[in-house]
């Protein structure tokens, strides 16, 4: 790990980041040009990289330990979508010059908390100074057995479409973070904000779906947009029922209070749930898997020949989604 923020940077790395690397001997205590990662025999590496920019992907002034945890979790979610077991990560921080030691210490504490929870270790990276907003880059590493990973491209006509957990909470949560959703109780606003700030990467689910699901993606752009990505990569269409979308109690209350409509929820991003397809013959296995993991796995529609995504309302008519739902495809 190299640091070029200034004279004190080597100190920062030694004090705050080196402890995060101790579980990984190939990290060389961050005192090397790079790291060495030895994979289990017959495993392949899965790599993903997501960036976050202050003021774009999170509000300026977000608590640094929460930010660190979100950065790590968002990347682990990509590993989950590929069915990989998470092993390690590298960190690239471009930090404003007015970031102080307390900020870095809290950021590292957030990483320490979550890397323990998810069984990963820091293996290297770079810290630099920027005159602009903070840019946080993380590269996450996982493994799969052989080349058996989930991709976006295996959906076939007749497959069921499933999503884990609940949908739309994070988009509502971002609004709660911004001080909106006045019609909701404070507890609901807090619960939704937590869903935005601290997504849950579905690693156990992703790994268990290898061999069961025909394709998978994590919901970052929104349920409809990400289903569009699955369809585009698989060369198929999808039809889902809006009222089948799994909603949390706070999200239901937001609907009832007129703070959002169903189109907002099925197009809202950042839930980091897994969206996947599987043939009808797998229904029993998927139900059993959901029970075993304690994760709701909801069948919301089906794959058809053609292209594009149709979201049907309660009467079976296509729901109007506005522009947001079609941004990305």
Only segment of 148-156, 161-169, 251-259, 277-285 that touches a copy of itself (CB under 8 A): 148-156
Q: What is the dihedral of CA 223, 228, 229, 232, to 10 degrees?
A: 160
CA distance 165 to 83: 17
Only segment of 128-136, 240-248, 257-265, 290-298 that touches a copy of itself (CB under 8 A): 128-136
Name the CA radius of gyration of the chain, rounded. 20
Q: Does 137 bind a copy of itself (CB under 8 A)?
A: yes
Only segment of 85-93, 196-204, 281-289, 310-318 that touches a copy of itself (CB under 8 A): 85-93
CA 280 to chain centre: 27
- Using DSSP, state whether 150 is helix, strand or coil: coil
240-299 residues in contact with a copy of itself (CB under 8 A) are: none
Structure tokens of 72?
């790590």
Q: Does 153 bind a copy of itself (CB under 8 A)?
A: yes
Nearer of residues 16 and 141 to a copy of itself, judged by Cβ:
141
Label residue 261 left, alpha or beta by phi (over 0 means left) and psi (-120 to 50 means alpha). beta
Nearer of residues 114 and 218 to a copy of itself, judged by Cβ:
218
CA distance 273 to 101: 34
- Choose, by CB under 8 A, the member of 166, 214, 220, 248 that binds a copy of itself: 220
CA distance 279 to 156: 8
Question: Phi and psi for 307 in degrees, rounded to 5?
Answer: -145, 155
* β 237-241/160-164 pair status: unpaired
Nearer of residues 119 and 280 to a copy of itself, judged by Cβ:
119
Partners of 137 in the β-ladder = 51, 92
Q: Does 46 bind a copy of itself (CB under 8 A)?
A: yes
Query: Minimum distance from CB of 132 to a copy of itself (Å)?
Result: 1
Q: Does 37 bind a copy of itself (CB under 8 A)?
A: yes
Residues that bind a copy of itself (CB under 8 A): 2, 4, 7, 10, 26, 28, 31-39, 44-53, 55-57, 78-79, 81-82, 84, 90-94, 123-126, 128-133, 135, 137, 139-142, 144, 147, 149, 151-153, 217-218, 220, 229, 232-233, 327-329
């Amino acid at each position: 790990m190299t640091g070029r923020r200034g004279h004190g940077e080597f100190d920062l790395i030694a004090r705050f980041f080196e402890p995060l690397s101790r579980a990984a001997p190939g990290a060389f205590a961050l005192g090397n040009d790079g790291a060495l990662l030895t994979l289990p025999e017959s495993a392949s590496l899965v790599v993903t990289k997501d960036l976050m920019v202050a003021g774009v992907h999170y509000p300026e002034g977000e608590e640094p330990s929460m930010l660190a945890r979100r950065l790590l979790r968002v990347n682990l979610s990509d590993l989950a979508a590929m069915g990989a077991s998470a092993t390690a990560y590298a960190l690239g921080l471009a930090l404003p010059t007015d970031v102080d030691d307390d900020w870095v210490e809290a950021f590292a504490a957030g990483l320490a908390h979550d890397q323990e929870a998810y069984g990963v270790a820091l293996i290297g990276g770079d810290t630099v100074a920027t005159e602009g907003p903070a840019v946080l880059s993380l590269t996450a590493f996982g493994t799969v057995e052989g080349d058996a990973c989930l991709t976006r491209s295996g959906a076939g006509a007749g497959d069921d479409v499933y999503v884990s957990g609940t949908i739309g909470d994070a988009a509502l949560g971002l609004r709660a973070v911004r001080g909106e959703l006045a019609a909701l109780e404070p507890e609901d606003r807090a619960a939704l904000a937590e869903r935005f700030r601290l997504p849950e990467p579905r690693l156990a689910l992703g790994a268990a779906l290898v061999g069961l699901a025909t394709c998978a993606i994590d919901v970052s752009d929104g349920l409809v947009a990400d289903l569009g990505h699955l369809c585009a990569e698989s060369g198929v269409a999808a039809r889902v029922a809006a009222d089948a979308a799994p909603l949390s109690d706070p999200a239901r209350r937001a609907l009832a209070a007129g703070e959002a409509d169903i189109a907002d929820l099925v197009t809202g991003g950042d839930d980091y749930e897994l969206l996947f397809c599987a043939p009808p013959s797998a229904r029993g296995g998927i139900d059993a898997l959901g029970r075993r993991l304690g994760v709701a796995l909801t069948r919301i529609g089906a794959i058809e020949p053609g292209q594009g995504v149709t979201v049907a309302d309660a009467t079976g008519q296509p729901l109007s989604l506005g522009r947001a739902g079609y941004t990305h495809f």
